[in-house]
Chain A
Amino acid sequence: MYEPRIVCFFCKWCTYAGADLAGTSRKQYPPNGVVVRVNCSGRIDPQHVLWAFREGADGVLIGGCHPGDCHYQDGNYKTMRRVTFLKRMLSDMGIEPERLRLEWISAAEGEKLVHVMSDFVDEVKSLGALELGLTGEKGNGGAAKAPAKKKPAVKAKAAGKKTTAKKTGKKAKPAARKAR
């Protein structure tokens, strides 16, 4: 049975702490996601998400503080705008936008975290494994191929090209699915 691989970018103030609470409350959820802790969801560059898909992630979950609760004033609003845009871009690339999810989970919402994790794993399972048909090595080899520190000036566009150019097998029509 296919088990989706999921990267979770969690802000350290809210969602990471919410995941801690899920743990201390011994709530159970599927073990598919690995958390990368960032100071703020606003720290997440769209390239991080694209990189995760390139490296074999079937889904990416971003967790931040609820609107108005950002520890850094408004980082989560920046994330919200970026994710909206990024979902459209993913769709253009043939990656179902549902594979990227943004959720507001506070430090008190262990229960919500469990629900979101379980639901997201189910959703990504139903979408099937992401096959980008990338040529070349995946996995740890990426370390050598991670975008150079000096990225092209218009990075989103450049990254988009890189992935679409190498894409072969077309997935289900993303337009048919409404972004969340």
Chain B
Amino acid sequence: MEERIGVFVCHCGSNIAGVVDVKRVAEELGKYPGVAHSTDYTYMCSDPGQNLVKDAIKEHNLTGVIVAACSPTLHEATFRRAGRVAGVNPYQVEIANIREHCSWVHQGEKEAATEKAIKIIKTMVEKARLDEALDPISVPMTHKALVVGAGIAGIQAALDIANAGHEVVLVEKSPSVGGHMAQLSETFPTLDCSQCIMTPKMVEVSQHPRINLMTYSEIDDVAGFVGNFKVKIRKKAAYVDRDACTGCGVCVEKCPVKTESEFDEGLAMRKAIYTPFPQAVPNKPVLDPEHCTYFLKDGKCGICQKVCPVGCVDYEQKDEIIEEEVGAIVVATGYDLYPIENMGEYGGGKYADVITGLQFERMLSASGPTEGEVRRPSDGKEPKEIVFLTCCGSRDPEAHMPYCSKVCCMYLTKHAMLYKHKVHDGQAYVFYMDVRTAGKGYEEFYTRAAEEDDVLYIRGKVSKIYEEDGKVMVWGVDTLTGKKVEIAADMAVLGLATVPNVAAKKLANKLKIHTDEWGFLAEAHPKLRPVESLAPGFYLAGAAQGPKDIPEAVAQASGAASKVAHLFAEEEYHREPIIAWIDEDTCAGCRVCISVCPYDAAEFDEENGIAKIQEAICEGCGACIAACPSASAQQRNLTDEQVYKMVSAALEG
């Protein structure tokens, strides 16, 4: 079919017409091959202007439209709509930018600007001549979300999505929901008890009719794409039928084996069959075969099974794989602390009285191993002097992590303050590089610690910690006075760097979502798309994306949930059709496109030995097209042929 392109040159008042000879432009274009109609008008975007376009489409039976006007960012959508109404496919309506790229920037050169405007329009005519009629790609969608990780971010995301009316599968790898927040004593800057604000949410998430909570479970595999993910979830063998279990706790009580409690960060013991903490949700035990005598000594013991009144201990239980179909995935896999063993200069992992921030949290917690009393781990005595160290592993590009972990200044300030509230005659020292208090009420909190609770802040880094005479000797320097500081302390608390959860890194690989060099999940845009992954259908929440405090994690989770709700607002998933496609006849199956695709949208079709593009995933960047050695990869409505023709038109005359 012969193309019949209409060219509509806008004056934009005098914005264009004051520089460009619009009459001449319209006249010149009228003679150009493929152009069936060419005219000009004062304000093409006005109602009469749009009607002029619509009428001309009908009258001249146009197959394509070029509006020569302002930048396409302004009115491309307007004229595409007008085109559709009048019977031209929206993707065959193009804008020639003769205002921002011509009349406004060549105001003193009327002749040259007019010539340039003609060239610009010709390039777009050449493009339009080869434009195909396209429809947005519609993909069916499962209106159910998967949330991975049930810390505060995952819980919040799951609740928000469920409350928006959608089904949620919430998967947590440990036996209980709650994450690190459940371990905390009190929260800065309000000092409200973490458990008190956390447990109601934990209960709500477990009882919500639209949330299917799967604890002690992990993601085995994810296939598919946005709207249509197929997820395999491994429900780990708990050796307890947790549905039948009443949570009476007799098995835990009678179990003879003790091992270090993960929840209490090794400061207390738990049994081999255990619930991680008294408020755990679900409050049902799991059996840890790595420490259980029954598993270690070929069936000896078996006490828990004998004492269980409902007979739900099952040593033969196996991992179970559960398949779920979901449309969106929120990744909220949280953080870990940088290993204390890596802080060799501070005796990390070597001295009992050099502990992590999370261990100190457990110690301060009323439900913790010391019931809120501050005690030295080595001898159980009350410490009279404690040194708190910020930036242990953070902001240290040579030896550790280069980034700021963001929360350590604040939680160590909180620690120092809570310590003083419990040990009135004690002295708290905080070594700092800078005290970073960027948050609502944070600066005031820090000031209160320094002024009311007499926490002594020393600006400088600690160079070494060693043990001497039952004391923890801290060597540092006060960079404000330039003097060496030596403190014979009873305890040292390290504000270790926040790093991505170890399991989360593996999971990111499985999900094929990008991470930064440290393993934090990468957002689609650092400013404007902070809760989405670059891979469509994946959303990010909480510290998995970068160090953050509780309010930030909650805000991001709600943001991610609203993005999911936004996605689910439509029956089907629609996307721009300006994407890549592969010519099956010429593709040699070299797989170069697969290696350059940032989205894993190009995949290999084993059966036919060629590459193919998954339409639902392709974002239309064109990387595969530039890389394809046989030009088999092409972009819809921006094929190489179109580019060549546009270039030729730009150089004409």
Contacts and interface: CB of A to CB of B under 8 A. Distances in A.
B646 A72 contact: no
6 contacts: A20-B97, A29-B106, A42-B622, A51-B644, A75-B623, A153-B588
Given A48-B640, A150-B631, A151-B631, A39 B647 contact: no
Interface in B99-154: 99-102, 104-109, 112-113, 115-116, 119-120, 123, 126
B52 interface: no
- Nearest first, the 6 A-B pairs at minimum CB distance are A43-B622, A23-B100, A72-B621, A34-B650, A146-B644, A73-B598
A102 B351 CA distance: 56
Given A31-B116, A48-B647, A51-B647, A39 B101 contact: no
B625 interface: yes
A30 B109 CA distance: 9
Interface of A: 3, 5, 7, 17, 19-20, 22-24, 26-31, 34-40, 42-45, 47-48, 51-52, 55-57, 71-75, 78, 82, 114, 139-140, 142-143, 146-147, 149-151, 153-155
A24 B640 contact: no
B105 A75 contact: no
B150 to A, nearest CB: 30
Nearest to A47: B640
B626 A153 contact: no
Given A35-B120, A36-B123, A146 B651 contact: no
- Residue with the greatest number of chain A CB neighbours at <10 A, chosen from B99, B586, B629: B629
Contacts of A20: 71, 73, 97, 100-101
B630 interface: yes
A36 B623 contact: no
B563 interface: no
Given A36-B646, A51-B647, A52-B647, A140 B623 contact: no
A56 B119 CA distance: 14
Contact of B106 (A5, A31, A139): A31
B490 to A, nearest CB: 46
A79 to B, nearest CB: 8
Given A19-B100, A47-B640, A146-B641, A38 B652 contact: no
B647 to A, nearest CB: 5
Contacts of B514: 73
B53 to A, nearest CB: 21
B586 A56 contact: no
Contacts of A45: 625-626, 640, 643
Contacts of A150: 586, 630-631
Contact of B650 (A36, A38, A149, A154): A36
A72 B328 CA distance: 20
B203 interface: no
A19 to B, nearest CB: 6
A75 B113 CA distance: 32
